[in-house]
Structure 1
Amino acid sequence: MRYVDAFNHFFPKRLWEKLESSPGAGQDIGKRMRGIPAIFDLDERFRVMDLFSQHDYSQILSLGMPPLESLGTPEEVLELAKLGNDGMAELVQKYPDRFAGYIASLPMNGPDLAVREAERAFTQAGANGLQIHTNVNGAPLDEERFFPIFEMAAKHNKPVLLHPSRGANMPDYKTEDKSKYEIWWTFGWPYETSTAMARLVFSGFMDRLPNLKVLAHHLGAMVPYFEGRVGPGWDQLGKRTSDEDYSVVLKNLKKRPADYFKDFYADTAVFGSRPATICGLEYYGADKVLFASDSPFDPERGPGYIRDTIAILESLDLTPENRDKINFRNAEKLFGLTPKN
């Protein structure tokens, strides 16, 4: 059985060396990234991937955290993005059986530069999509200055992959200065992704770009589990708000809110949770879910989430057609990959 891993993370050599030598960036990548060799060491990456050679396993590469836009001025981040995108393109070209494609990163803190880099990545560097974090240094994605970036993705029929971004500096309670116990990650990241999805919907971005394809990392985050709130709950938008007239928002949308959320794509990167996988598949259906592992952030620093996710999918009662869609055919279609014979 073929598996194309749609969302996992790696730093190409020149970008990794640049980040390590930069005082601010070097601190941001921190001890966790340095402690996971498979995210920057190609030999270790291959060793992990070889554990799944019997599955005809390959990857669509994207950068790991932190968001590049948090590491400098727009011009400085553009340099980092180019190092990352060109490095990824080189890996895909050199090792096509290992890396089926890659997702470009952008200097999102400079939207005009980001648009130009997205077009360069698509037309000259063979990018298969864009990785955009759920906020840009704290700013929401539905600000008008970011619209041309999504427009560029739609123009080239390439997907946008939403990756959550939130840190301990976002407190859990108003009375506190920071989030405790890594709540900012465990619950904060799914909230971030769900919020970004909602802002794309209610802002009208999805109506303005009907061909835009957006994949929400971690199986659509909170949305499948909260289907009742997203559906019948948001059908009553405005009933709970007295200082603003939200009924106008519903009137301006071309569909009911729940229908837009069904238009998103999602991936199976849920850290080895079978119940979450079943819930997400039930919500999105086999046409909208792509196999992904989020490697190498498991406790084993590489193989764990790949192995667990494959085992979960193989345990499910899926038709051969739907199994193929989830495992590799949806990735081929969404990323514009050349199908294998």
Structure 2
Amino acid sequence: MTVIDVFAHILPPKFLAQMNAVQPNILDNFPYMKNDLLADVAKHRASLPADHQQILSAVNLNPEDFVDPKQAAALCQSANDELAATVRANRDIFPAGVAMLPMNNVPAALKLIDEQVAGSDALVGVQLFTQALGQPITAPVYEPIFAKLAEIGAPIWLHPVFDTRKPDNNLTFSWEYELTQAMYGIVAAKYFRKYPGLKVIVHHAGAMVPYFSQRIKYIQGPADYADFQKFYVDTAILGNPKALELAVDFFGSDHVLFGTDSPFGIPPVGPTAVIEAAVSVMAITDQQRQGILHDNWRTLMA
């Protein structure tokens, strides 16, 4: 059985060169992105265990943070084309990729979804972040993106970023809080009810939600509780089988997909082995385990 990692990252090299032209040595601002496995496809391929595949999404080097709306749209279009080409040239190991969008240009973002995602053989959804341009991802200006993706049945990959208004951001806890708040925002906006076809894959096993499910139930009520259960989540919490079991208990085993955040987390090649080991000892059935490692992805894409 091929293990499918639904949340692995890449930094397309031509796109990186374009961003360096915008701001020389741009990665000096993001030292964790100085990882050969992001931009070197050959090294990336060699780092994977046998019989593993990855769904690729770009790291959060987002054009809208650096350039005007027109430039951002052009950079995203080019990066998406490059990622699609990478998928097509390496289909045995990268069966699909995830598009990036210019969040300072929503009309162009909707156009890119129509042209580069809908009906694509390579790009199967888009990656959104918990905030964009200092606004929560559920700000009204971004709602048409949710509506469009629900309409075409393409999932959203929800990835955290720091809230730059806060002085004490840290990688251990802040990103989990931001994911939780974004999930809360999606539920509070009633997007799952407004857009029944909406599919959202949340990084890091749904963050805080599985641990506070009863607070959701008794404070927000059964309708919101049911909406929180509509998220899909990955397994990217660096192991911890008991925590993963909580995610299965809350979201359902069919809404949990194997994901690692590779090549980040555990140097030098990422946490694939550690997370796979955790899944292997979870107190779940073999059928549920196979779903997490492979089948749930196939069902989601059907």
TM-score, scaled to structure 1: 0.83
Unmatched segments (≥5 aa) in structure 2: none
| Preserved CA contact (<8 Å) 1:67 1:133 | no
| Preserved CA contact (<8 Å) 2:241 2:281 | no
Q: Does 1:265 align with 2:232?
A: yes
TM-score, scaled to structure 2: 0.93
Identical positions, percent: 29
Q: Post-superposition shift, 1:130?
A: 0.9
Match of 1:47 in 2: 46
In structure 2, C-alpha distance between the alignment counterparts of 1:281 and 1:156, rounded to whole Å? 27
Among 270, 283, 293, the residue aligned to 1:327: 293
Q: Post-superposition shift, 1:195?
A: 0.9
Q: Alpha-carbon deviations, 1:156-212, whole Å to 9, x = none?
A: 111111111115x332xxxxxx22xxx433221111111111111111222110111
* Amino acid corresponding to residue 204 of structure 2 in structure 1: H
Q: Does 1:292 align with 2:259?
A: yes
In structure 2, C-alpha distance between the alignment counterparts of 1:138 and 1:25, rounded to whole Å? 24
In structure 2, C-alpha distance between the alignment counterparts of 1:9 and 1:209, rounded to whole Å? 28
| Preserved CA contact (<8 Å) 1:122 1:156 | no
Q: Post-superposition shift, 1:333?
A: 2.2
Q: Which has the larger radius of gyration?
A: 1
State the aligned residue count. Answer: 301
| Preserved CA contact (<8 Å) 1:24 1:71 | no
Match of 1:103 in 2: 98
Provide the aligned C-alpha RMSD in A.
1.8
In structure 2, C-alpha distance between the alignment counterparts of 1:297 and 1:329, rounded to whole Å? 24
| Preserved CA contact (<8 Å) 1:272 1:308 | yes
In structure 2, C-alpha distance between the alignment counterparts of 1:70 and 1:124, rounded to whole Å? 29
SS in 1 for 2:157: strand
Match of 2:213 in 1: 227
In structure 2, C-alpha distance between the alignment counterparts of 1:145 and 1:66, rounded to whole Å? 21
Instruction: Tell me: CA distance 1:159–1:25, structure 2 relative to 1, closer, same or farther (3 Å).
Output: farther
Q: Post-superposition shift, 1:140?
A: 1.9
| Preserved CA contact (<8 Å) 2:242 2:282 | no
> Displaced runs of 4+ in structure 1, greater than 4 A?
none
| Preserved CA contact (<8 Å) 1:38 1:301 | no
SS in 1 for 2:124: coil
| Preserved CA contact (<8 Å) 2:244 2:282 | no
Match of 1:37 in 2: 36
Match of 1:61 in 2: 56
In structure 2, C-alpha distance between the alignment counterparts of 1:148 and 1:274, rounded to whole Å? 37
Unmatched segments (≥5 aa) in structure 1: 172-177, 236-254, 337-341
Match of 1:131 in 2: 127
In structure 2, C-alpha distance between the alignment counterparts of 1:230 and 1:155, rounded to whole Å? 28
